[in-house]
Chains A and B, each alone.
Chain A
Amino acid sequence: MSRWMPWLQAAPLALVLAVFLVVPMAMLVVVSFYDYDSFSLIPDFVLTNYREVFSSWVTWQTYLKTLWFAGLTWAITLLLGFWLAYFLAFVVRDPTWRMLLFVLTTVPFWTSNLIRMIAWIPFLGRNGILNNTLIGLGAIDRPLEFLLFSDFAVILAFVHLYTLFMVVPVFNTMMRIDHRLLEAARDAGAGFWQTLWCVILPLCKPGIGIGSIFVVVLVMGDFATVRLMSGGQSASVGLMISNQIGLMQYPAAAANAVVLLAMVLLLVAAMLRAIDIRKEL
């Protein structure tokens, strides 16, 4: 009995993942080779869906744009998240304050991403708060058009939504750094930047790795942020897939999905090679 216990306990998890993850992903691969017309799926083995993905310049551009979104968001959230975590872990001395400020950065996690995107409309619109303030101050005489429904708005929303995914793991690893190491570095004559570069940064790597995986994966698979914040002016692979779904072109969507999945898995594998996160799990 007790020999079978672990299998029995793990069985529900395995079953759910098998039915709702493994089989659906296999389904994507199968359907990506199907043929289709405007009414139905035609079971077949054709390569046209993939040929369309790789032969269209627009599709290439969309993939590059998605990578660009992911790269830029990653760079900003990493820079911002690192210093915010640094402030919490090393500058704030009082544990109660530190806890309070940490909780404050995590509260938005419990609210809807969609609503946090919508919340930018009154700020960035043509007659929004930012434009009106700038005009009131005399800094500009015409409303800035690029604020809403642009790549700027998309990146802003990504940073707004996902910085906390970077702050939390980096903060966690920073809190585990033995402060005697920092003292030792100072005694050995290291300045602030040297300590940061040679002691703190290497020890934070696992946290940075986890945060980076979260941010990159979330941005790569996004469709709603790009649709909402760019107002249909920009594209991402996720949005392209969701548009193809809307047009009932399931095999085309599936082919893009398989390519996107391969890309995301490769990116994650590359990050795992660069940074060992196992110590954190």
Chain B
Amino acid sequence: MPGRAARLLLGALFAAFLLFLYGPTITIAILSFQGPDGGLTFPMNGVSTVWFTRLFQPQAVGDLGAAMRRTLALAAMVTACTVVVSLAAGMAFRRRFAGSGALFYLTLASLIVPSILVSLGIGLLFTLMEWEPAWYSSAFGAQLTWTLPFGLLIIFAVFNRFDRSWEEAARDLGATPWQGFRHVVLPIIAPGVVGIALFGFTLSFDEFARTLLTAGSGNTLPLEILGMTTTVTTPVLYALGTVSTALSFLVIGGALLGVRLLRRRRGA
């Protein structure tokens, strides 16, 4: 154990790191309430919500409402698919099967390949096949190559701690494999499944590199933000950042709250 002075020093380092981590984000949240004549930095020139209203007027940026709906729909699709596919694969990996090693390494490789290369590869595939790229097809697949490895690694961690005797007890009592899964395994691993869903949602909601060449004609919200970084020099940019962060926290907070309520009802 380090001495008292060293402990204090490490504490100070940690506090400074938290400030470094949160300071900028909190600052732009404040600056997004700039007055109508305010600029990109302090001082605040009055307080208003004018940048938020401007955000939803069509001339400020592209059709933001549509981009937001598209992003949420895509995130919902990716989340649902990530949960189902990685859960099924996690069940499969509990036993060794021919090709399990190769599939595992392929999943890890999916994590390592840079996002822009996945984007380019899928974009080229769709171009050469003369398929029309769209957010619900090519971008959906591109994001899955990013969310599925995370999902699989989480489900591995969950099954590592899973006591198989529960399942055996269910089988001894005459449960079919499906009944055993539905009534014994799933309730026990439910928190892990929620974790996968939250990862899937947030990774999809904020993704831009993998959607860049695969979204087709309809932009997602992160792509709108990426476009705005070069063209917009007003606090509208901050307002969009604040809205996106708030939306993301709203969904995550809502999901966590829902899980709590569900568990309380079950416990009662």
Contact = CB atoms under 8 A, between A and B. Distances in A.
Contacts, number: 242
26 contacts: A9-B92, A13-B88, A13-B89, A13-B107, A20-B144, A21-B110, A21-B121, A22-B106, A24-B124, A28-B117, A31-B128, A87-B13, A91-B7, A105-B17, A109-B202, A114-B222, A115-B241, A115-B245, A116-B24, A122-B27, A122-B31, A127-B41, A182-B1, A222-B114, A260-B114, A260-B117
A120 interface: yes
Nearest to A3: B97
A136 to B, nearest CB: 12
Interface stretch (A55-63, A201-209, A249-257): A249-257
A61 to B, nearest CB: 19
A148 B180 CA distance: 58
A261 B22 CA distance: 33
Contact of B124 (A27, A88, A109, A213): A27
Interface residues of B, number: 85
A23 B122 CA distance: 8
Given A90-B1, A122-B41, A129-B42, A10 B118 contact: no
Nearest to B114: A221
B88 A10 contact: yes
B118 A118 contact: no
B209 interface: yes
A245 interface: yes
A170 interface: no
A21 B14 contact: no
B10 interface: yes
Contacts of A48: none
Nearest to A232: B230
B97 A83 contact: no
A223 interface: yes
B92 A123 contact: no
Interface string B8-19: 001101100110
Interface of A: 2, 5-10, 12-14, 16-17, 19-25, 27-28, 31, 41, 80, 83-84, 86-88, 90-91, 101, 104-105, 108-123, 125, 127-129, 132, 160, 163, 182, 192, 213, 217, 220-224, 228, 238, 241-242, 245, 250, 253-254, 257, 260-261, 264-265, 268, 281
Question: In the complex, which of the residues A21, A88, A101, A257 has the most CB atoms of chain B within 10 Å of its own CB atom?
Answer: A21
Question: In the complex, which of the residues B6, B85, B208 has the most CB atoms of chain A within 10 Å of its own CB atom?
Answer: B85
What 7 pairs across the A-B complex have the smallest Cβ distances? Answer: A221-B114, A24-B121, A119-B24, A9-B92, A20-B141, A115-B241, A10-B92
Contacts of A117: 229
A102 to B, nearest CB: 11
Contacts of B226: 114, 224
B11 to A, nearest CB: 7
B189 interface: no
A148 B186 CA distance: 50
A19 B117 CA distance: 14
A17 to B, nearest CB: 5
B89 A254 contact: no
B103 interface: yes
B18 A17 contact: no
Contacts of B117: 25, 28, 221, 241, 257, 260-261
B169 to A, nearest CB: 19
A127 B43 CA distance: 10
A250 B123 CA distance: 10
Interface string B29-44: 0010000000011100
A172 to B, nearest CB: 10
Contacts of A222: 114
B225 interface: yes
Contact of A245 (B84, B85, B120, B148): B120
A86 to B, nearest CB: 7
A128 B17 CA distance: 20
Contacts of A104: 18, 21
Given A6-B92, A10-B103, A31-B124, A17 B27 contact: no
B10 to A, nearest CB: 4
Contacts of A27: 121, 124-125, 128
B225 A17 contact: no
A224 B24 contact: no
A30 to B, nearest CB: 8
A17 B41 contact: no
B25 A115 contact: yes
